Structure 1
Amino acid sequence: MRVPVVQHSSRRRRARRRRALWTGGEVLVTTGVVLLLLVAHQLWWTNREARQGAERKVAALEREWAAGGAAGGSGSGGGSDGAVPSRTAVPPAGAARGGSAGTSSPSSPKGRDGGPRRAQTYAVLVVPRLRLRAPVAEGVSKPDVLDKGYVGHYPGTQQPGQTGNFALAGHRNTHGEPFRYLDRLRPKDMVEVETAHATYTYAVDQLLAQTSARDAGVVRPVPRSLVRPGRGYSEPAAYLTLTTCTPEYTSRYRLVVWGKLRSVRERG
C-alpha cells in the first residue's frame, strides 16, 4: 500500500491561508465594532448629552426670569460666536456631519428685550405639538450653538415680536435633534417664544417641505423662497421662520416652517 506523501511546502501554504483568513476576519469584526460604536455615539450619546444640556439651560433661564435677572446673564450660554451663515445660504442645521455653518455676518440687532450677546441663550422655544422646549441662542455656529442642542437665531434677522423675520435653525438628527419632527407641524399650530420680558405666540401659516440649501429668501425680512417663488409672503409682518435639514440624516435640502405673530403676553 502506498503511503501519501505530504510536502512541507503544502502545509505551510495552507497554514498561511488559514492565518490570512483569520486575520481578515478579525479586521472585519473589529472594523464593524468600531463603526457600531461611532454610530451609537452619533445617534445616541450626542442626543443624550445635548438634550440634558439643553434642559439644564432652559431651567437656568426660567430660574433667572423668576428671580428677575437679566436675560443672557449667569444662566446664558457664554462664549464667543463661531462661524455663522452668510446671507446667501441656509446652514446645514439638520446634518449629521460636522463642519462650519457658513461665513461670518453682522450680529443681530437689539430687539425689544435689549438683544442678547453673541452665542448666548436668551429665549425658550416652545412647540406644544412636538412637546419641545429648547433654548434659543444667538448665532448658528455648530460647536457653539447647534451641537449643544440649542436652537440658533440667524444673525441679521429680527428679534421676537418685531416686524420682520425672527429666523431660527436647529438640528434634525443628532446633537439633541430639537427639529427632528418639524415636518409634523400644521397650519394654525402654536409656537411660543419665551423671553425675560414677554411670551410671543406665533401661529404656523405655511410649510415648505423642501428647498435649496442656498435659498436665502426664506430668512429675509419678508420671507419668500427664491427657488419656489410661489411660496412665502409679499407684505411686511412679524414672521417666525424655522429651518432644518431634509431628508433626515442629510444636509442636501432645507425644510422650512413659517408662522405669523398672533399675540404678545408681557411677564407680570
Structure 2
Amino acid sequence: MSAPRPEDDPGLQGPYAQGAYGADGAFAAAVESLADPLNDPLPGEHASPWFRSEGPQGDAGAPRGAAPAGGAGRSPASERPQEAPGEWYDPEGYQRDWYGPQQPPGPAPAPAPVPGAASVTPETPAAPVTPVAPVTAAAPVPDETLGLRTADTRRIVADHPAPPFASSVSAGPSGPSGTSAVTDPVTGGRAERRRAAKGRGRRPGPPTGTTGPAPGTPAAPLSRVEARRAAKAAKDSPAVVASRAVGEIFISLGVLMLLFVTYQLWWTNVRAEQIAGKETNKIQEEWAKGAGKPGVFAPGQGFAIMHIPKLDVVVPIAEGINKEKVLDRGLLGHYGEGKLKTAMPEDKQGNFAVAGHRNTHGEPFRYINKLSPGDPIVVETREAYYTYEMTAILPQTSPSNISVIEPIPVGSGFTKPGRYITLTTCTPEFTSTYRLIVWGKMVDERPRSEGKPKTLVG
C-alpha cells in the first residue's frame, strides 16, 4: 500500500490545503487526466481505456481513485478499505482504442487484369508454394588473431551449417535484396595466406576437380603472350608438314597407279575390241565390193581375218607389226617389212608369220599356249579360206631370235620347204621379257565360192 498524498491530510496549510486548487477532488482529477500508463509510478491508481475495475461501491467500470458522487475528496489511505484485485484485461478494447475499429475479414478482391498478360481461369489451381527455410545467421566471430578466428570459424561452421540456398543470397546491402550473403568460411592459417599471396598475380584457373570453365561461363581473355603461345602451338611443325606432304604424294601416286592399271587391264581391251570389230566389218565390206585383191598392202591396212575356233578368236590381220598403228588397236600384224618379211597365205611355199598381244589391247593371243597339235587355225582372205593345223609350240625364246619366222622355222621340226604359219606373242603374261611361239602347217585351201570350211561351220 502506498503512502498517503499531502493533499489528503486535512491538517495541512498552504497550497496543499484542502480546496486550495478549487473544489474538492479537482487536484486528483487533474492528476488522473495527465497520467500515462507507461510511466505512471502508481499503476492501478488511474483509469485506462483498456483497464476496467470495480469501485469501492462495486460499480463496474468506475475508475479507481475517482471522486465520489457527493463531490467529497479522496479519503486517506488509512480510511479506504483494502480492495481486492479486480482488474481485468480487455484485448478488444485495447485493439479498438489503439488501432481503431476492425472490419471482419472478407473475400479478397480479384486482382485487376494486366494488359498483355495471359488470362487465368478460376478453375486453374494455383501452384503450391514451396516454403523457404529460414537462414540461420552465424554467430559473430570475435576480433582475435587469425588462428583464433580460423578455429572459431570452423567451430561456427560445424555448429551452424550453411543452408542449401546460401549461394543465392545476395552479398551486402548493395545486393538486389539488400541482405547480407552467406559466404564461405575462412580456412587455413599463415601457410594459406602465403600461398594466396604468391598466386595473387597469376591468372585464376578452373577449380580443382574440373576440366574447364562451367558451361555457359565465358572464357577469360588470353594475354598477348598466351595468345602467341597458343597460336604457335596450333601451327604444325616442319616434320608434321613434311610427313603430311609425303603422305599426300604417296596417296596421289597410288591413285594414279590404280587408274593406270584399270586403263591397261580393262579400258584398252574394251577399246581394242571396238576397233577390231569395226576393222573386220570394213574388210568384209571391201571384199563385197571387189577390193582387197592379193598383193602388196600399205602398213596398217587390213587384208585378212584369222579364226581360232578352240579359243573363239576372230581377229583381223593388218600389214606390219607397228605397235601403235596395228598391235595396240587389237589387230594381228603380219611380218612383211625388211629382214622380217615373211610369205603371204596364197604363196605356194613360205612361212606366214603374225604377231599379237597376249595381254591388254584386245589380247587376241591370250590363250594360244593352250593350243594342242591338230587344232585348226583358219585364215580368211578375199579369195579363199586357208586352214592350218597346230604342230609345235616353243614356250619361251629371246625376242631377238628371228630364226623362228624363217621360211623353214628353226625349232619347229620342219625340215623342208612348205606352207607354214607362225604365231608369236609375249611371255610371261603382262610382261615382254620373252616370246612364245606356235607353229602350224597348211592342210587345206578352200575358195570362198565353195563356202566355209567344216571347222568354221560346225
Q: TM-score, normalised by structure 2?
A: 0.45
Q: Which amino acid aligns with 2:376?
A: M
Corresponding residue of 1:215: 401
Distance (Å, rounded) in 2 between the aligned partners of 1:62 and 1:244? 26
Distance (Å, rounded) in 1 between the aligned partners of 2:360 and 2:236? 48
Distance (Å, rounded) in 2 between the aligned partners of 1:183 and 1:161? 26
Assess if the C-alpha contact under 8 Å between 1:124 and 1:193 holds in 2. Answer: yes
Corresponding residue of 1:186: 372
What is the SS of the residue equivalent to 2:378?
Answer: strand
Corresponding residue of 1:195: 381
Corresponding residue of 2:426: 245
Picking from 40, 62, 65, the partner of 2:284 is 62
Picking from 166, 173, 180, the partner of 2:352 is 166
Q: Which amino acid aligns with 2:343?
A: Q
Q: Over aligned residues, Cα RMSD in angstroms?
A: 2.4
Q: Which amino acid aligns with 1:178?
A: P
Higher relative contact order (CA 8 A, sep 6+): 1
Q: Which amino acid aligns with 1:54?
A: A
Larger Rg, first or second structure (1 or 2): 2
Distance (Å, rounded) in 1 between the aligned partners of 2:241 and 2:325? 49
| Residues 1:259 and 2:445 aligned together | no
Q: Counterparts of 1:121-200 in structure 2 under 5 Å?
A: 121-155=302-336, 156-162=341-347, 163-200=349-386
Name the structure with the higher strand share: 1
Note the alpha carbon deviations across 1:144-163, whole angstroms, 9 max, x for none: 11111110000120001421
Identity %: 44
Q: Which amino acid aligns with 2:284?
A: E
| Residues 1:39 and 2:261 aligned together | yes
Q: Counterparts of 1:68-87 in structure 2 under 5 Å?
A: 68-71=289-292
Corresponding residue of 1:22: 244
Distance (Å, rounded) in 2 between the aligned partners of 1:178 and 1:126? 11
Note the alpha carbon deviations across 1:203-262, whole angstroms, 9 max, x for none: 00111111111111110001114xxxxx43211110000000111111111100000001
Assess if the C-alpha contact under 8 Å between 1:115 and 1:159 holds in 2. Answer: no
Q: Which runs of 5+ in 1 are unaligned?
A: 73-112, 226-230
Assess if the C-alpha contact under 8 Å between 1:242 and 1:258 holds in 2. Answer: yes
Distance (Å, rounded) in 1 between the aligned partners of 2:242 and 2:405? 57
Aligned in 2, Cα 1:186/1:161: closer, same or farther, shift over 3 Å?
farther
| Residues 1:235 and 2:421 aligned together | no
Distance (Å, rounded) in 2 between the aligned partners of 1:118 and 1:24? 47
Distance (Å, rounded) in 1 between the aligned partners of 2:418 and 2:401? 20
What is the SS of the residue equivalent to 1:48?
Answer: helix
Q: Which runs of 5+ in 2 are unaligned?
A: 1-194, 203-225, 450-458
Note the alpha carbon deviations across 1:39-74, whole angstroms, 9 max, x for none: 111221111111110011112212332x242117xx
Q: TM-score, normalised by structure 1?
A: 0.76
